[in-house]
Amino acid sequence: MVTTERLARHLRTPDAVVVGLGAMIGAGVFAAFAPAARAAGGLLLVALGIAAVVAYCNATSSARLAALYPQSGGTYVYGRERLGGFWGYLAGWGFVVGKTASCAAMALTVGAYAFPGHERAVAVLAVAAVTALNLFGVQKSALATRVIVAVVLVVLAAVVAACLLGRPAAPGTAASGGGWGVLQGAGLLFFAFAGYARIATLGEEVAEPARTIPRAIRISLGITLVVYLAVAVAALAALGPGRLAASTAPLADAVTAAGSAWLTPAVRAGAAIAALGSLLALVLGVSRTTLAMARDRHLPRFLAAVHPARQIPHRAEIAVGVVVILLVTFLDLRGAIGFSSFGVLVYYAVANASAWTLRPDEGAPPRLVPALGLAGCLLLAATLPFASVLAGLAVFAIGALLWLARRAARPTPPGSPTPPSA
Burial class (CB in 10 A: 0-12, 13-18, 19+), 130: buried
Q: Is residue 20 part of a domain?
A: yes
| Res 72: pLDDT | 78
Whether the CB-CB separation of 356 and 374 falls below 8 Å is answered with: yes
Q: Is residue 2 part of a domain?
A: no
| Res 175: pLDDT | 59
Q: Is residue 5 part of a domain?
A: no
| Res 419: pLDDT | 44
- In this prediction, residue 420 has a pLDDT band, given cuts at 50, 70 and 90, of very low
| DSSP symbols for 264-323 | HHHHHHHHHHHHHHHHHHHHHHHHHHHHHHHHTTSS-GGGG---TTT-S-HHHHHHHHHH
Q: Is residue 416 part of a domain?
A: no
Q: Is residue 221 part of a domain?
A: yes
CA distance 315 to 196: 24
| DSSP reduced 3-state for 72 | strand
CA distance 392 to 102: 13
CA distance 331 to 343: 20
| Res 254: pLDDT | 92
| Res 122: pLDDT | 93
Above 80 in pLDDT, residue 117?
yes
Q: Which of 176, 160, 155, 179 is nearest to 236 (CA)?
A: 160
CA distance 72 to 305: 13
Whether the CB-CB separation of 286 and 73 falls below 8 Å is answered with: no
Above 70 in pLDDT, residue 396?
yes
Q: In this predicted structure, which of 23-27, 168-172, 184-188, 390-394 has the lowest mean pLDDT?
A: 168-172
pTM confidence score:
0.82
Whether the CB-CB separation of 383 and 184 falls below 8 Å is answered with: yes
Sorted by sequence, the CB contacts under 8 Å of residue 222 that are 6+ apart come out as none
Q: Which of 195, 216, 189 is nearest to 23 (CA)?
A: 195
Q: Which of 351, 393, 404 is nearest to 374 (CA)?
A: 351
Q: Which of 41, 23, 87 is nearest to 278 (CA)?
A: 23
Alpha helical stretches, state H, 304-410: 314-330, 338-356, 368-383, 386-409
Q: List residues bridging with 72 in a β-sheet.
A: 202
Give me the CATH number covering residue 262: 1.20.1740.10
pLDDT greater at residue 194 or residue 129: 129
| DSSP reduced 3-state for 64 | helix
| Res 152: pLDDT | 93
What's the pLDDT tens digit per position in 177-223?
678 889 888 888 887 777 777 777 777 777 888 788 888 888 999 99
CA distance 152 to 161: 14
Q: In this predicted structure, which of 172-181, 232-241, 293-302, 315-324 has the lowest mean pLDDT?
A: 172-181
DSSP 261: G
Above 80 in pLDDT, residue 366?
yes
Stretch 64-80: mean pLDDT, rounded? 88
**Which domain does 147 fall in, by range?**
13-409
Share of the chain above pLDDT 90, in %: 36
CA distance 90 to 400: 7
- Output the average pLDDT for the chain: 85
DSSP 71: S
What is the CB-side half-sphere exposure of residue 96 using CA atoms within 13 A?
25
CA distance 241 to 236: 6
Into how many domains does the chain fold? 1
pLDDT greater at residue 180 or residue 319: 319
Q: Is residue 332 part of a domain?
A: yes
Burial class (CB in 10 A: 0-12, 13-18, 19+), 309: exposed
Stretch 88-95: mean pLDDT, rounded? 92
| Res 230: pLDDT | 95
Above 60 in pLDDT, residue 1?
no
- In this prediction, residue 176 has a pLDDT band, given cuts at 50, 70 and 90, of low
What's the pLDDT tens digit per position in 53-62?
998 899 899 8
- In this prediction, residue 26 has a pLDDT band, given cuts at 50, 70 and 90, of confident
| Res 17: pLDDT | 86
- In this prediction, residue 5 has a pLDDT band, given cuts at 50, 70 and 90, of low
CA distance 294 to 288: 10
What's the pLDDT tens digit per position in 145-164?
889 999 999 999 999 999 99
- In this prediction, residue 418 has a pLDDT band, given cuts at 50, 70 and 90, of very low
CA distance 292 to 403: 16
Q: List residues bridging with 11 in a β-sheet.
A: 206
Whether the CB-CB separation of 54 and 218 falls below 8 Å is answered with: no
- In this prediction, residue 353 has a pLDDT band, given cuts at 50, 70 and 90, of very high
Q: Is residue 226 part of a domain?
A: yes
| Res 262: pLDDT | 93
| Top mean-pLDDT range of 158-172, 218-232, 323-337 | 218-232
CA distance 106 to 94: 18
Above 90 in pLDDT, residue 114?
no
Above 90 in pLDDT, residue 109?
no
Q: Is residue 414 part of a domain?
A: no
Stretch 256-266: mean pLDDT, rounded? 91
